[in-house]
Amino acid sequence: MTVTVTRTTVPEHGVVRYASIGGLELEAGGYLPDVTLAYETWGTLNADGTNAILIEHALTGSTHVTRGDSDEEGWWEQLAGPGAPVDTDRYFVVSINIVGGCYGSTGPSSPAPDGTPWGSRFPLVTLRDSTVAEARLADQLGIGSWYAVLGGSMGGARALEWAVTYPERVQRCAVIAVGAASTAEQIAFAQAQTLAIRQDPNFNGGDYYGGPGPEEGLALARRIAHITYRSAAELEGRFGRAPQDPESPLRAECLGERGRYQVESYLDHQGNKLVQRFDANSYIAITEALMSHDVCRGRGTLPEALARSKARFFVAAVDSDRLYFPSQSRELARALPGSVDVHLIEAPIGHDGFLTEIGQLGDQLRTKFLV
């Protein structure tokens, strides 16, 4: 593959920038003209372009991995920043908002060629499509090969797709809290979430822009998702059967007047928080992209697919994860060439431990991966 390299000066760190990458032919047959990718960078690309690291965000994550010149805290401060395992004083760190998102990249709320939002017309974009788009941005930034690509959950799936789609462009790949493909159970959870949005009376087939949006449906989708992000032990330990004071679910003359348990109030809070920052159509688009995750598609067996990659792999799982089970990480590791360990994050919280407890892997990342 011939890579066209265009150098770009990046004066600000941790501040959103935008790049036009042209039209994108999609795996499922659709087409997106004039795609924009939003991204942030930290650190400085060295003269030969060999110190670049790509950090991929999870489902509803943004590009803001760490502070940089921004006052806003990043979502993976334990992992990236000055002196952190992904040291922004040493590496040129990049994070890109996925196609279909709502943090600056082309998505359903973006203007279509006719000037109105894409809405229901937005095409299916797979994780493989998003990788192709990101490769064009890497070209513009002057990055012919990534020193490392890493991510957790959907970000880990994106990192894995990079390593297999562009084997000559990924030297190291860290896949955290995700397997080689979305399983039937994971697709089932995802379908329940997207259906919650689609059945909201305000969804209007996806063309709700300019009117009331499907906020109740999006909040319900987040509730469903959040249950899978936290472990049963975490929910029981934090909330048990306690009522939400002064409410009581057992003191009401009719069901319509019942109060809530604390865990219900917690899920309500999580749903309402997402509504304030995320677009419902983007939630559907990215969830569909995650459903598409299958590194083997069109590539043979899992060992055959992974044999395409030339990267050094780092695989990790959360021991209490009930969405992406550690067994899926072990299956991925067994199929990789050579001997690849599965590092365990010990966190009773569940799947979200890949975010909150990533610091546990700091030494392993420094000594076994980023070397």
Task: Find out whether 362 and 78 touch, Cβ atoms under 8 Å.
Answer: yes
The 10 Å Cβ neighbour count of residue 366 is 14
**Cis bond before residue 212 (omega within 30° of 0):** no
Task: Supply the pLDDT for residue 10.
Answer: 42
User: If you average pLDDT over residues 222-226, what whole number do you get?
Assistant: 98
Predicted local confidence at residue 266, as pLDDT: 98
- Residues 169-217 pLDDT 10s: 999 999 999 999 999 999 999 999 999 999 999 999 999 999 999 999 9
pLDDT band at 69 (very low <50, low <70, confident <90, very high): confident
Closest CA to 61 of 43, 45, 80: 80
349, 231 contact by CB (below 8 A): yes
Whole-prediction pTM? 0.95
One fold for 17-182+294-369 and 186-287: no
Instruction: Give me the DSSP letters along 109-178.
Output: TSB-TTSSB-GGGPPP--HHHHHHHHHHHHHHHT-SSBSEEEEETHHHHHHHHHHHHSGGGBSEEEEES-
Show Cβ contacts of residue 344 under 8 Å, excluding neighbours closer than 6 positions: 316, 317, 318, 319, 326
Least confident of 11-15, 163-167, 301-305: 11-15
In this structure, are residues 72 and 64 in contact, taking their beta carbons and an 8 Å threshold?
Answer: yes
CATH class of 186-287: mainly alpha
pLDDT at 55 over 50: yes
Question: Distance (Å, rounded) from C-alpha 213 to C-alpha 202?
Answer: 5
Q: Tell me, what's the pLDDT at 192?
A: 98
Each domain of the chain, given as residue ranges in start order, spans 17-182+294-369, 186-287
pLDDT at 253: 85
Residues designated as active site = 153, 321, 351
Whether the predicted pLDDT of 15 surpasses 80: yes
Helices (H), the chain: 127-141, 154-165, 184-198, 215-229, 232-238, 262-275, 280-291, 302-306, 326-335, 353-356, 362-364
Q: How far is CA 317 from CA 17, 168, 283, 293, 357, in A?
A: 32, 26, 24, 17, 11
Query: What number is the average pLDDT over the span 44-60?
Result: 97
Tell me the torsion sign for CA atoms 265, 266, 269, 274.
Answer: negative
Model confidence pLDDT, tens digit, residues 225-260: 999 999 999 999 999 999 999 999 998 889 988 999
Q: How sure is the predictor about 9, in pLDDT bands with cuts at 50, 70 and 90? A: very low
CB 127 within 8 A of CB 164: no
Q: What is the predicted pLDDT for the residue at 353?
A: 98
**Whose CA is closest to 214, among 193, 190, 198, 191?**
198
Confidence at residue 46, expressed as pLDDT on a 0 to 100 scale: 97
3-state helix, strand, coil in the chain (%, to 5): 35, 15, 45
Q: What is the pLDDT, as a whole number, of residue 6? A: 35
Q: CATH number for the 17-182+294-369 domain, one of 3.40.50.740, 3.40.50.1820, 1.20.120.1750, 3.40.50.970?
A: 3.40.50.1820
Residue 11 has what pLDDT? 47
Percent of the chain with pLDDT over 90: 93
| Torsion, CA 183, CA 186, CA 187, CA 190, rounded to 10 | -160
Average pLDDT over residues 49-65: 98
**Contact partners, residue 86, CB within 8 Å, separation at least 6:** 53, 55, 79, 80, 93, 148, 150, 365, 370
Amino acid, single-letter form, for residue 280: A
Confidence at 4, pLDDT banded by 50, 70, 90: very low
Q: What is the pLDDT of residues 129-158, one digit of tens each?
A: 999 999 999 999 999 999 999 999 999 999
Average pLDDT, the chain: 95
Is a pLDDT exceeding 50 seen at residue 3?
no
Q: What is the pLDDT of residue 70?
A: 84
